[in-house]
Structure 1
Amino acid sequence: MKRGKKYLAALEKVEPGKKHTLEEAVSKLKEIAFAKFDETVELTMWLGVDPRKADQLVRGTIVLPHGLGGAAKKVVVIAQGDKIREAQEAGADEAGGDEIVERIKGGWMDFDALIATPDMMGKVGQLGKVLGPRGLMPNPKTGTVTMDVKTAIQETKAGKVEYRVDKTGVIHSPVGKVSFDPAKLQENTEVLINAVMKAKPTTAKGRYLKKINLAATMSPGVLLDELTYA
């Protein structure tokens, strides 16, 4: 992949293989960011797990203390009865029952997060082929299948992120924007790293955390010292 002049200029400021403290990494990331838009900062963690084994699927959700920046997530709730009104009062952008299911079947996907009550999962399950590939399928493990729709909506709007190891044993997750105050970006990153460390499967063998990288949308990555968290 051919890189532009600005990327290559930023790359020259990153010492190959050097591992940084979190404070240093955030400072370096701000120094080398060059895009004209407010870039998203993403944390990447390489884990010593075998995702092919069900008991080594590292997955969870965490509410970042300073959110993710940018526009608030558009949240849709599929429920019935009083839970629809509860969702509307809690700030859901859309809330309903069968009619929402039918709209999604018809191709409507104008939302960032979908929450469902357990009694509606029989119908929501029919949408798996549409929602699954987009990472929008409600799941009890991520708190998006629940009767407590109010809390689920509030956490999602506040900047709840889902982390999940991919088939190569790597986790990618946003932690904020380049424009964030350094201390806030550091705290968001620290909270996510600690959550992943606590989620270590008991069956994982050898070194759990192999490598950590912090990068902005357009910029080169900056390595963190993984031994700080081991």
Structure 2
Amino acid sequence: MSQTVAELPEHARAIIAEEEALLARVLASVEAARQRSGSRTQETQGLVAQLQVLRDEAATAPVADLPHLLHQMNQARALLERQETAQLPDVGAPYFAHLRVDGPAGIRDYLLGRTSFADASADVRIIDWRFAPVARVFYRYGEGDSYEEWFGERLSEGTVEVRRLVVIERGRLIRIQSGTLVLVRTSEGAWRMPGSGPSSQLAGERGRRSARASSEWGRGPHGARARSTSPRCSTPSSSRP
């Protein structure tokens, strides 16, 4: 039997509410960034046109003007490459873990994903778990632990406030794991704690009964193994000829 959010313990409900609010903030931030990137299309086209004009000028310009033209070309090319390489997180599954630390900069939330993304105004920080040094804190320490890590030449010390694994599919939070606590969203949309419902308690009681029956099988009323009540068959004596 599934449990609705109202039937879950208070701390479980608080975790669900916090993670769902965080995901909503991330999705809104990524969508806003996507809209801003769409408005850069004209800027990109302008850079391409500017680069073409500079190339044409460099082809016929005097030697004395080439250093200045080449410098402008390099600047335009760098801006163009920066726009082309910028990637946004996948809104279907933007991150898979949530880390909150209380460190030198105060309390910060970091979301581990596969694409780095930051929006200071929305307090959103997605880090690439493969390259970001702070990701080591997630993999080396547990919730409530004090950590001490060198990030480059800077020693960072603090406390791990939150360490959770999450599963997001199609932009929807479906699983949260915080320590030994596991929360799963059913296909009907209700949240439950696996192994905490009445059906699992009934299954556990059946298992205990089965174990007792197995251990007592073949024992008599006083604990001694029962003997067979079938009559003993005597071996017929061989007849002498």
Smaller-chain TM-score bracket: under 0.3
Larger Rg: 2
Q: Please state which structure has a larger fraction of its residues in helix.
A: 2
TM-score (norm 2): 0.24
- Using CA pairs below 8 Å that are at least 6 residues apart, which structure has the higher relative contact order? 1
